[in-house]
Amino acid sequence: MNALQQIDHLVLTVADIELSCQWYAKVLGCQVVRSKAVSGEDRVALRIGDSPQKLNLHSAEHPFQPAAQMPQPGSADLCFIMSTPLEAAIAHFSHLNIQIIAGPIQRTGTLGPILSVYVRDPDGNLVEVANPLNADPP
């Protein structure tokens, strides 16, 4: 078996696909991508920046099969690294009346220390946005 290389996509089960699309586009700047599955079903995804990664959105009422054993809205905990300075993101959240659940707080990301804030999406998923920090914290 070959070693894994990267994450291609993750699936978020959501109560309202259109509401989730609006929130992730407006709050986090994701690009909404609509397509047809091989089976002919409409598919909706959120492209993450310029990366080859995406979040597929599945309706809680009609999950795309196969699915997780217990797909449900509000069960995800996601972390995104962003190029926007954290201070600007905090101001953006404030402007949109998005409550910051925690932060700014230092955490450990895949490549080292990060500075993060936490918010919730419309389904209650915990969404962490972060900036990488130098090896020496400020």
Do 130 and 115 meet the contact criterion of CB atoms below 8 Å apart? yes
Q: Which of 18, 61, 87, 128 is catalytic?
A: 128
128 part of the active site:
yes
Burial class (CB in 10 A: 0-12, 13-18, 19+), 102: exposed
For β-strands 126-132 and 77-81, DSSP reports them as parallel
Look at phi and psi of residue 26 and say left if phi exceeds 0, alpha if psi is from -120 to 50, else beta: alpha
Active-site positions read 128
